[in-house]
C-alpha cells in the first residue's frame, strides 16, 4: 500500500527576463524596498484583466513571493486566480510589457491582458 501523495501548489513564478527587468526598474527608482504588485480586476474582453504596479508596503493579508533581490506582492482575492502562474517580460513589435502565463485561464484575449476561468 502506498501513502497519500502530497501536493504543494506553486504560488507564482517569475521568469528570468522579468527578474532582470524588475531589478533594473528598482535600481532606476533607487528604492530597494519596491516590489511588483500583480493583481486581477474585473473587466477586459475576456472577463478579468491583469494589472501591475509597484508596491513599497505589503499589507498583512498580501502574499509576498521573493526571488532573491526582487519580489511579487499579490492580494488575497487575486492570488486565487494566479496560483501556478508565471510573470514574464517581453519586448517586441507591440512594445515592452509584463505579462502572465496563467494555467488557470480557460480563455485569454489576443493581447494576453485579460482572461476567463
111 is in an annotated binding site: yes
Low-confidence ranges of the chain (pLDDT < 70): 1-10, 44-46, 107-117
49 is in an annotated binding site: no
Distance between CA 94 and CA 73 in Å, rounded? 26
Domain map of the chain by residue range?
Answer: 13-101
Distance set, CA 11 to CA 30, 45, 90, 110 (Å): 28, 26, 21, 25
**DSSP assignment letter at 6:** P
Residue ranges of alpha helices (H) inside 66-116 are 76-82
pTM of this structure: 0.80
CATH architecture label of 13-101:
Sandwich (2.60)
pLDDT at 47: 77
57 is in an annotated binding site: no
Amino acid at each position: 500500500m502506498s501513502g497519500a501523495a502530497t501536493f504543494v501548489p506553486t504560488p507564482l513564478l517569475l521568469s528570468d527576463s522579468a527578474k532582470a527587468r524588475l531589478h533594473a526598474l528598482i535600481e532606476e527608482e533607487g528604492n530597494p524596498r519596491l516590489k511588483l504588485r500583480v493583481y486581477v480586476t474585473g473587466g477586459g474582453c475576456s472577463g478579468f484583466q491583469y494589472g501591475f504596479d509597484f508596491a513599497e508596503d505589503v499589507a498583512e493579508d498580501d502574499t509576498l513571493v521573493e526571488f532573491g533581490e526582487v519580489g511579487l506582492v499579490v492580494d488575497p482575492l487575486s492570488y486565487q486566480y494566479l496560483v501556478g502562474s508565471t510573470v514574464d517580460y517581453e519586448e517586441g513589435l507591440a512594445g515592452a510589457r509584463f505579462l502572465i502565463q496563467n494555467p488557470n485561464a480557460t480563455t485569454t484575449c489576443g493581447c494576453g491582458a485579460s482572461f476567463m476561468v
